[in-house]
Amino acid sequence: MGLRRPEECTSSHNTDGGAIHSLVQYTHLTGMSLIETMGYTGDAFRLIIDRESVEVGSYSFFDWKLRHSKALECLGFTTRTTGNQTNIAPTPEELEEGLQFVQESIDRGIPALGWDLFMPEWGVIYGYDDEKRVLQCRDMGGDGELPYEKLGRGEVTELYVLAIAGSRPLRKTDMLANGLRVGIAHALEPYAELDRGSHRNGLAAYDAWIEAFTNRSADPFGNSVMTMKAADAREFAALFLELIANQWEESAPHDAHLREKAFEAAVHYRNLAERLAELRDMFPFPSGGSPNEEGTANYTIRLLQEAKSAEAAGVGSLQQMLECLETKVSQP
């Protein structure tokens, strides 16, 4: 059993956002762009950094079930998951449960989101063959067949699969409000799952990043991965806000004010994206350059301070956009 090959799951370095975009193409939201998906889910506004070394796993250091379910909820979907973030290979029974879970989703006509299919990133499982005992999968590491027994037994031996379980149509006004709420909360509120560790999210992530550079303890490879992913996410944030500013349909007086605030937010996030793009170029993946060299580290700290200021200003504009939407909803 196989579905059409997903086209977009490798178009963002933030691969869970790319995989989610692929999934929704098989639903009533087919045709939604990757820019829209990244914005409406809030994924374009995510940032998590380890303050000790900017370690490579920072990008995935969050509660996957909670955050992915919330992202899809922003679009009107409910989800189901199987597996856990344990770094422990699934038992034979857990593997069979995972395979059945994937097959049921594909039989309903929607691929499943999977982790560590061909590499430790998120991708899409879009077909299966019981005779050959293989899954058809696509992620940043490839597009091809994955033996049944390799599901959850890849590089990091972790089984995690998510499927869309149901949906209810939402207006774009509601999706925008949902995405803004997620983005604002991420920027300002510490993730509960990061409470006791060295990772920080949102605006506090910039302080964590600065701390690692101040201590000259940034891991070249991990930092190169995080600058690449952060620059990618904020480029999508800028593009999404520019889209709202230029194309949002005005049906009420509040919509003109919304577009005005979206334009202001877009300016801040474009400024932010440029700072992060400069960092990405300074620390190219995978070599990572020399992040702990004195002059480089000092200049990086300055860029990160400017990036944090731009993001803080951008979050203020996002809050004003949300106020516009909530005012519109409250009007008779």
Range of the domain at 178: 54-59+171-330
Based on the domain organization, do 149 and 195 belong to the same domain?
no
In this prediction, residue 310 carries a pLDDT of: 99
**How confident is residue 249, by pLDDT bands cut at 50, 70 and 90?**
confident
**How confident is residue 196, by pLDDT bands cut at 50, 70 and 90?**
confident
Based on the domain organization, do 136 and 216 belong to the same domain?
no
Nearest to 254 by CA among 242, 262, 264: 262
What number is the average pLDDT over the span 168-178?
Answer: 97
What number is the average pLDDT over the span 12-20?
Answer: 95
Domain end residue (candidates: 135, 167, 199): 167
In this prediction, residue 90 carries a pLDDT of: 96
Q: Which residue shows structure tokens 């701390």? A: 211
The answer to whether position 142 is within a domain reads yes
In this prediction, residue 327 carries a pLDDT of: 84
Q: Check whether 124 has a pLDDT greater than 50.
A: yes
Q: Check whether 166 has a pLDDT greater than 80.
A: yes
Domain end residue (candidates: 147, 167, 187): 167
The answer to whether position 134 is within a domain reads yes
Using CA atoms, how far apart are residues 124 and 24, in angstroms rounded to an integer?
11
Average pLDDT value over all residues in the chain: 95
Q: For residues 14 and 234, is the Cβ–Cβ distance under 8 A?
A: no
DSSP string, 159-200: -EEEEEEEE----HHHHHHHHHHHHHHHHHS--GGGTTSSEE
Q: How many domains does the chain have?
A: 2
Instruction: Look up residue 259 and give its two tokens.
Output: 């577009």
Q: Check whether 8 has a pLDDT greater than 60.
A: no
The CATH code of the domain that includes 210 is 1.20.120
Based on the domain organization, do 161 and 191 belong to the same domain?
no
What number is the average pLDDT over the span 44-65?
Answer: 97
Based on the domain organization, do 233 and 210 belong to the same domain?
yes
**How confident is residue 321, by pLDDT bands cut at 50, 70 and 90?**
very high
Based on the domain organization, do 120 and 261 belong to the same domain?
no
What number is the average pLDDT over the span 98-125?
Answer: 97
The answer to whether position 163 is within a domain reads yes
Q: Check whether 92 has a pLDDT greater than 60.
A: yes
Based on the domain organization, do 235 and 177 belong to the same domain?
yes
**How confident is residue 230, by pLDDT bands cut at 50, 70 and 90?**
very high
Report the range of poorest mean pLDDT among 47-56, 227-236, 244-253. 244-253
Cα distances from 31 to residues 14, 28, 143, 279, in angstroms, run: 20, 9, 22, 33
What number is the average pLDDT over the span 80-103?
Answer: 95
Nearest to 291 by CA among 129, 131, 54, 99: 54
Based on the domain organization, do 163 and 251 belong to the same domain?
no
Domain end residue (candidates: 167, 193, 216): 167
What number is the average pLDDT over the span 53-78?
Answer: 97
Nearest to 314 by CA among 26, 54, 52, 44: 44
In this prediction, residue 332 carries a pLDDT of: 47
In this prediction, residue 330 carries a pLDDT of: 53
Based on the domain organization, do 99 and 225 belong to the same domain?
no
What number is the average pLDDT over the span 13-29?
Answer: 96
Based on the domain organization, do 92 and 104 belong to the same domain?
yes
**How confident is residue 169, by pLDDT bands cut at 50, 70 and 90?**
very high
What number is the average pLDDT over the span 306-327?
Answer: 97
Based on the domain organization, do 159 and 228 belong to the same domain?
no
Q: Check whether 329 has a pLDDT greater than 70.
A: no
Based on the domain organization, do 160 and 212 belong to the same domain?
no
> For the chain, what is the total number of helices (H) and then of strands (E)?
9, 8
Report the range of poorest mean pLDDT among 57-61, 220-224, 246-250, 271-275. 246-250
